[in-house]
């Protein structure tokens, strides 16, 4: 399992909690209904790769999409964390790509089946593995976020457009599952998601948090 690094310390996530729809425009482009509370799925920690590594396109899927997200890394764990205290539980922030086998996801949604397989392949969670301390990001709900493929911008927005704030996400998730030190919350992606193919280079940037670049291969 890959470790994240925080001020020289290695931190290991027990889970990656991913918001399903947290930007209005992304919900519109996928024609997904919005909800009045954060909904999420789990991505296996084994899907993590680091900067400069490669997403491996799986033979089971023909349509794989990119999704750039702000990732929250928990420091002080807990259950039923009050929203007003939530940010004090954060260790720091990083850049994350939630790679999705969109054809599998769409198929399983139509069939009324679980679609975690579409998110869980090895290499489907590229991350900047160095955590930016919480103190260096005074307002995680107002950060420019962008992703380009081969130098062409595909996604460009701001976390101010999130439906649920970072604090609200932490509070609601912790009502269901205890958050541990090192656990990751992927806060959702803005509009502009699209396909990737063998040979592509994906470059992501979040203001105050940093950059991430990965390639795409097929085996």
The partner residues of 5 in beta bridges, in order of sequence, read 10, 130
Distance CA 83, CA 76 (A): 14
Distance CA 179, CA 182 (A): 9
Q: Which two tokens stand for residue 212?
A: 């991430």
CB 145 within 8 A of CB 70: yes
CB 130 within 8 A of CB 94: yes
Per-residue pLDDT of the chain (219 residues; tens, 9 = 90+): 899 999 999 999 999 999 998 998 776 776 776 778 899 999 999 999 999 999 999 999 999 999 999 999 999 999 999 999 999 999 999 999 999 999 999 999 999 999 999 999 999 999 999 999 999 999 999 999 999 999 999 999 999 999 999 999 999 999 999 999 999 999 999 999 999 999 999 999 999 999 999 999 998
Q: Which two tokens stand for residue 13?
A: 């996530």
pTM: 0.96
Distance CA 175, CA 31 (A): 28
CB 109 within 8 A of CB 99: no
First to last CA, the chain: 21
Determine the topology of domain 4-218 in CATH: Fumarylacetoacetate hydrolase; domain 2 (3.90.850)
How many other C-beta atoms lie within 10 A of the C-beta of residue 156?
15
């Amino acid at each position: 399992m890959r470790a994240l690094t925080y001020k020289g310390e290695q931190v290991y996530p027990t889970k990656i909690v991913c918001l399903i729809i947290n930007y209005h425009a992304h919900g519109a482009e996928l024609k997904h209904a919005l909800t009045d509370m954060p909904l999420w799925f789990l991505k296996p920690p084994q899907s993590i790769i680091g900067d400069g590594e490669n997403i491996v396109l799986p033979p089971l899927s023909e349509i794989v999409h990119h999704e750039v997200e702000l990732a929250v890394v928990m420091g002080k764990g807990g259950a039923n964390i009050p929203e007003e205290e939530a940010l004090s539980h954060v260790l720091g922030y990083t850049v994350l790509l939630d790679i999705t086998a969109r054809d599998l996801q769409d198929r399983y949604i139509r069939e009324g089946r679980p679609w975690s397989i579409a998110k869980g392949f090895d290499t489907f969670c590229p991350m900047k593995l160095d955590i930016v301390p919480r103190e260096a990001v005074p307002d995680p709900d107002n950060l420019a976020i962008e992703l380009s493929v081969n130098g062409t911008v595909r996604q460009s927005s701001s976390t101010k457009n999130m439906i649920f704030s970072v604090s609200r996400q932490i509070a609601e998730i912790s009502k269901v599952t205890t958050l541990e030190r090192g656990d990751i919350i992927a806060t959702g992606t803005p509009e502009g998601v699209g396909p990737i193919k063998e040979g592509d280079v994906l470059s992501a940037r979040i203001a105050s948090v940093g950059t991430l670049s990965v390639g795409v291969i097929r085996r």
